[in-house]
Structure 1
């Protein structure tokens, strides 16, 4: 349970009263823990997955983009919410995304997903489609670069969702000045000051920012 920002009892209540992940998502979460060890924390939380699916259903995107696929939990949740559109995933790891590919097949959504391997700063720069919906959950120092590439391609009214923006709450604590904390703080300032968008940060899991292009 990624409930860094809420009282544990409240967080548990919220999870217990939300739609639960099905057997396939639970299987993927378990395999991710077994296969990736300490890196398993990069996987989104179950409540985030349900939120991604619901937002995708509400937005009904034709072109969705994910930067940072890992083993595929978030992409599976987005792909399940599509109603005729396509999800374009960008990641650097062939090893971890091989797990994602298997679960896309198991879920019957592989035909909705295109995976591009390589540094996303380069591969996104070559992506020339107008984006309706995007999810960013990749290496934090490159967030500003990914953000610009995504927002510049978002259609008016399009939505970008950004993970880990509260960074265990450290961004709000002046006592924390670790490199990644500072990077996330600066990123949040960048987004808040961008006149092209309207923004809200949700205290979901490790912080999820919703960025709507005007």
Structure 2
């Protein structure tokens, strides 16, 4: 039975409305997902004004630390994660730290920040792979009056860990900070760090995201695969409480029980 002109117009109108509705739902979902993904992204780079605002209203840098960071910005492209190390310094202060092991890649900035919160008889063991890494920082350590608190070890991180353990220093460190982004034996380093840490102490592991490489299914380099496996192992480790934070290149905090 042929449809009247009015009926055909009605059917066509309903069809247009249906298509419009479906298109609206589809576009709405896409827009919502875009907005949600966009809002979930914390910063769009180091120059993001939100990051600048956050740092401007949260950092309390010692004048010598500011000068050292400015100096480092002229000689190395590496970003100094001031917010991350300030958090560690605050934690070190809260747990009344007196003995800290720092094995980060900060060209002397991190040892300075950590030494500032220690008592006069406190000590930061700062591990570096080359004396050039901290040569320019020593001037600022002295200016801040903390050079006597910083003991520099020029060798691999694993060698420093072995030396400290062999000299009976297990369970004596209040806070240990280590960058494991390119460690070949990160699981062994983790275990040695836990042995050196006292009960109630804090192990801070930087680089747990490996610049996002841990998210890729394959291929993973040996060091990235090791870091991913360590992250999974830490999640299951009943010897610690943990928090993984989106600071620096991923900061894992382990609180030894």
TM bucket, shorter chain: 0.7 to 0.9
1:20 is displaced (CA, Å) by 4.2
1:103 is displaced (CA, Å) by 2.2
- Give RMSD over aligned pairs: 2.3
1:210 is displaced (CA, Å) by 0.5
1:97 to 109, 134, 159: 134
1:202 is displaced (CA, Å) by 0.8
Match of 1:183 in 2: 226
> Any idea what SS the aligned residue of 1:140 has?
coil
* Structure 1 stretches of at least 4 aligned residues deviating more than 6 Å after TM superposition: none
Q: Which runs of 5+ in 1 are unaligned?
A: none
* Shift in CA distance, 122/22, structure 1 to aligned 2, threshold 3 Å: closer
Flag the structure with larger Rg.
Answer: 2
Match of 2:97 in 1: 61
**Counterpart-to-counterpart distance in 2, 1:27 and 1:176:** 41
Contact residue 72 and residue 103 of structure 1 kept, 8 A: no
Contact residue 97 and residue 118 of structure 2 kept, 8 A: yes
Match of 1:75 in 2: 111
**Counterpart-to-counterpart distance in 2, 1:82 and 1:196:** 26
- 1:119-156 CA distance string (max 9 Å, x none): 22122212132111111125432432321111012111
2:190 matched to 1:147? Answer: yes
* Shift in CA distance, 18/85, structure 1 to aligned 2, threshold 3 Å: same
The number of residue pairs the alignment matches comes to: 206
**Counterpart-to-counterpart distance in 1, 2:72 and 2:219:** 30
Contact residue 102 and residue 178 of structure 2 kept, 8 A: yes
Match of 2:74 in 1: 34
Q: TM-score, normalised by structure 2?
A: 0.71
2:175 matched to 1:133? Answer: yes
Which structure's relative contact order is higher, taking Cα pairs within 8 Å and 6+ residues apart? 1
2:87 matched to 1:45? Answer: no
1:66 is displaced (CA, Å) by 0.9
Match of 1:206 in 2: 249
**Counterpart-to-counterpart distance in 1, 2:253 and 2:146:** 25
**Counterpart-to-counterpart distance in 2, 1:70 and 1:16:** 20
> Any idea what SS the aligned residue of 2:184 has?
helix
**Counterpart-to-counterpart distance in 1, 2:235 and 2:59:** 31
> Any idea what SS the aligned residue of 2:67 has?
helix
1:22 is displaced (CA, Å) by 4.1
